[in-house]
Chain A
């Protein structure tokens, strides 16, 4: 079992719709959780982080964390073509140092 698992996609949504991206992790001691966005040919950049169970909202983005289910999700409201990218889920393990990434989900937003 991989430490961080994501559906590779591609996930295709129409412009203005809600995109839902999901991630599960195996280490129950994981402390912090991140979503990075990576445009083609570019490096990953942080868009959201979450530490506590529940929802965290930042503009059009909402991160959701359920530690009991070892599940993290990212919702993108009012999706725009500029949101088309690969979204990487990342997890810091129990020690807090090591950051492990999932393989990423490719999102396409159709105009």
Chain B
């Protein structure tokens, strides 16, 4: 089975531009998580969905950030307008609720640089 698929792998943009990151979770997984990782703050939970419904978005830093999950196989994280402090690696992860291990499966990440 394919793992979690994220795109783009790398994005370089200028301040003020809109950025859209995409994620396809593992088929059959019903929970999806967006994390942001920086050296200073580590791996921060931004938002997570269960059965396509946003459960907790308290980690979303500002109104500039928004996330959607229109169906079980696709999610987006959008930043508009982007700022240099948004530069980070953004990870999407998925999990099948109720599994014994509770393991999160991560995508390879989207490295965002905002100039």
Q: Which residues of A contact B (CB under 8 A)?
A: 32, 34, 36, 42-46, 49, 88, 90, 92, 96-104
Contacts and interface: CB of A to CB of B under 8 A. Distances in A.
Contacts of B31: 97
B41 A98 contact: no
B91 to A, nearest CB: 6
Contact of B33 (A46, A88, A99, A103): A99
Contact of A97 (B35, B41, B55): B55
Nearest to B42: A103
Interface string B77-115: 000000000000001000001000111101111000000
A101 B43 contact: yes
A96 to B, nearest CB: 8
Contacts, number: 53
A99 B45 contact: yes
B40 to A, nearest CB: 9
11 contacts: A34-B102, A43-B106, A49-B102, A49-B103, A97-B55, A98-B48, A99-B33, A99-B45, A99-B104, A100-B45, A104-B42
B14 interface: no
A88 B109 CA distance: 16
Interface residues of B, number: 22
Nearest to A31: B102
Closest 5 pairs (CB-CB, A-B)? A103-B42, A43-B106, A101-B43, A46-B103, A32-B102
Nearest to B33: A99
Contacts of B33: 99
Interface string B38-53: 0001111100101000
B56 interface: yes
A45 B102 contact: no
B101 A98 contact: no
Contact of B101 (A45, A46, A101): A46
